[in-house]
Structure 1
């Protein structure tokens, strides 16, 4: 029922759902958040969080140095994971998208290029003599396949996911940590595909890295006490498609997802006093697992 002009609005007009809604970031009114600046107590979203000795601060308090007794330059803005805040929090995401799109266009112009970029264990199959593939020493395919797509729907889906997931993660982690997460997750997906799939089966796409971003996003949302139902629902839908749709390398999706969860947890839960060691040490451990899987499979294929 509409309220008449000038009539008082009592507390009973507010429903329970409105009462439970989180405040919105003072710089991004469309984003709900449960985190507040430890100085001014204004609500701030992950993109606006600046790591402080206790809790998080907003960019305005850091810039003005309020309450610190130091000049503004004495406080260096930090992200949730300890990375440096950037003026363009989506720069690395844009570059990654640009590389994927450029490779896609190149493959469309010269379709034979995909044979040099695709992830394949050994080719051609017996009784032919193996002349190409990861088992033949072409380990670079673990990287090139991460940026290669043939189908329009494939690159469209992956790039939309990269834009949707990558921007907030890049803002929360910082460029270097975000890039490490992307590459290591993609390599983990490729290595698991190489280990478990048929050596004569080609695989390509950024899906391993994208699923790594899914995993890290879930960890970040749990860390910030956000409603996880949307990301869980989206992840479940993607897993259903992964195992229900033929022609998809599920190994890449699972490998990337597991790596993303492990690295994401290290990124947002690392203790402050040895943060970089824990974060990059975890990336190094996952890379070591990638190396072991690749070596084991290469020995198997002889």
Structure 2
């Protein structure tokens, strides 16, 4: 028996009552109090480890003989073009785990932004939706690079995924009636910085990730309450299908450098 404020309760009855109790969920379908933002932590750790591997050829004695991770997994539109000898479409995603080895500021900004925004968005939407949001935003950034960047210019960085989180946070805040003025100013400022010549920032990846994050968050926030999870995942799958279709359409359009 389990002692209660008034008398004792049968353990079987208590467990049955707990089982029947509805699971509390957030406005967007995540379990309330689902724990730490483990996906955010995992992505930050993965990016940090990959960055350490990127630095080895530059600073470790004899490191020049090791594989160049940056060169092997960075993305340029040529890698999804029919005229280029290396067809490696997976680079559209692997590039988001890489950062410029010559600039610690690059990875530092992205990881700090991921730390602050991820700890808000992940508990609100749940780890699975959050992981899909990051994945789609990273892919969306690469799709924009495919259409808008030089075919042979490699692009690296988690910025597309981070800007996707910016866009998602805007949509989620608007859905709850919260103020978004400060967030909009921050996003606009960072988008503008990407257009400054000489900084070598992929504004294309930023823009593509931002748009994808907004669309994915709209799918999550506007899904009908009945069968909400099913509608959300079908909608996110649809966003992924559109990105893949855009990749298939854009790849043959990549011009051969003269």
Residue from 113, 120, 140 that aligns with 1:161: 113
Q: Answer whether contact 1:146 1:186 (CA < 8 A) is retained.
A: yes
Which residue number corresponds to residue 18 of structure 2?
Answer: 72
What is the CA–CA distance in structure 1 between the aligned matches of 2:135 and 2:77, rounded to whole Å? 20
Query: 2:56 aligned with 1:103, yes or no?
Result: no
Residue from 225, 243, 247 that aligns with 2:195: 243
Which residue number corresponds to residue 93 of structure 2?
Answer: 143
- Do the aligned partners of residues 119 and 86 (structure 1) sit closer, same or farther apart at CA in structure 2, a change above 3 Å counting? farther
TM-score, length basis structure 1: 0.70
Structure 2 matches for 1:215-254, cutoff 5 A? Answer: 215-246=167-198, 247-254=200-207
Shift of 1:199: 0.9
Residue from 70, 76, 81 that aligns with 1:120: 76
Number of corresponding residues: 224
Shift of 1:86: 5.1
Structure 1: stretches of 5+ with no match in the other structure: 1-69, 124-128
Q: Answer whether contact 1:188 1:286 (CA < 8 A) is retained.
A: no
- Do the aligned partners of residues 230 and 149 (structure 1) sit closer, same or farther apart at CA in structure 2, a change above 3 Å counting? same
- Cα RMSD of the aligned pairs, angstroms, is 1.9
Structure 2: stretches of 5+ with no match in the other structure: 1-15, 59-67
Shift of 1:299: 1.9
Shift of 1:195: 2.1
Shift of 1:87: 4.6
- Do the aligned partners of residues 139 and 81 (structure 1) sit closer, same or farther apart at CA in structure 2, a change above 3 Å counting? same
Which residue number corresponds to residue 149 of structure 2?
Answer: 197
What is the CA–CA distance in structure 1 between the aligned matches of 2:57 and 2:73, rounded to whole Å? 12
Shift of 1:290: 1.4
Which residue number corresponds to residue 186 of structure 1?
Answer: 138
When Rg is computed on C-alpha atoms for both structures, the one with the higher figure is 1
Q: Answer whether contact 1:93 1:166 (CA < 8 A) is retained.
A: yes
What is the CA–CA distance in structure 1 between the aligned matches of 2:29 and 2:39, rounded to whole Å? 17
**1 or 2, which has the higher helix percentage?**
2
What is the CA–CA distance in structure 1 between the aligned matches of 2:219 and 2:147, rounded to whole Å? 25
Which residue number corresponds to residue 279 of structure 1?
Answer: 232
Q: Answer whether contact 1:85 1:174 (CA < 8 A) is retained.
A: no
By relative contact order (CA 8 Å, sep 6+), the higher-ranking structure is: 2
TM-score, length basis structure 2: 0.81
